Amino acid sequence: MNKKFTLIELLVVVAIIGTLASLLLPVLGQARKTALATSCLNSNKQVAFAMIMFREDNDGAIAYGYSSLRKFQSGVDTYLGGNALPGEDASVFYNNASPTWYACPSTALDAENRIEATDYGMAHINNYQSLIGRKVTQINDSANAMLLMDTLKTDDPSIKVGRYEISVYSEDKYNKGSGLFYNNFKHNKQRASYTFVDGHGELIKWIPRYVFNDKYTKEIFAMDRISVNEQLHPDFRL
């Protein structure tokens, strides 16, 4: 004889399913966000590896600029399989460059049609202190010297920052670029992706600027200033 479920039994089953779903959905949501962060980090590491190949072909130079704005990406792009040429116009770069520059799935906006809107940028203090135009031999601790940072682009124009470089000198710009403003972090668990001069990468939870600089950018702060012209590739210097 077939026994039918009573209404109370069905309601109990529905309640159990609802409870399980409420417990599992946040976990699944975090798992998805972690997967996106990992994908972003992998793209960041691809760019870092391309920059290692670049310096092997350029007498140890970590990066060069190719215009007065020092857009290093155009010199690195061929090592990522792209077709951008050093020094070409920003919008032309976007059309010819490797998609790896724009591959972070956690970016809130589609890439703007210019080179400055890549998903990964280099840390800088000002126009005269960054790793652009420097040799790898000038780095004492390559495992802790920041190379590339996750740039932050959102649909809020007041915090739409993160271009070819990211300022670590200004408290305001660091907090905006790192996602602290409005609790607008790029990845879950208040993290962003970073790669280092030695090529390894990490997802790092937000820390105050003074701690960040002491751990990861102190070598940039210790460097002498060099002119914008000195940061350019030798073929592009005035």
- What does the pLDDT look like over 169-227, one tens digit per residue? 788 878 877 778 767 788 888 888 999 999 999 999 999 999 999 999 999 889 999 99
Q: What is the pLDDT of residues 66-82, one digit of tens each?
A: 876 668 899 999 999 99
153 has a pLDDT exceeding 90:
no
Question: Cβ(64)–Cβ(231) under 8 Å?
Answer: yes
Q: What is the mean pLDDT of residues 156-170?
A: 60
Instruction: Measure the CA–CA gap between 78 and 64, rounded to whole angstroms.
Output: 14
Distances (CA, A) of 60 to 36, 56, 123, 167, 215: 33, 6, 19, 24, 23
Instruction: Measure the CA–CA gap between 93 and 77, rounded to whole angstroms.
Output: 9
Instruction: Measure the CA–CA gap between 69 and 50, rounded to whole angstroms.
Output: 21
Report the half-sphere exposure of 112 (CA within 13 A, side-chain side): 14
Distances (CA, A) of 199 to 62, 77, 143, 152: 12, 17, 8, 21
Instruction: Measure the CA–CA gap between 161 and 167, rounded to whole angstroms.
Output: 10
What pLDDT band is residue 145 in, cutting at 50, 70 and 90? very high
SS3 74: helix
Tell me, what's the pLDDT at 87?
83
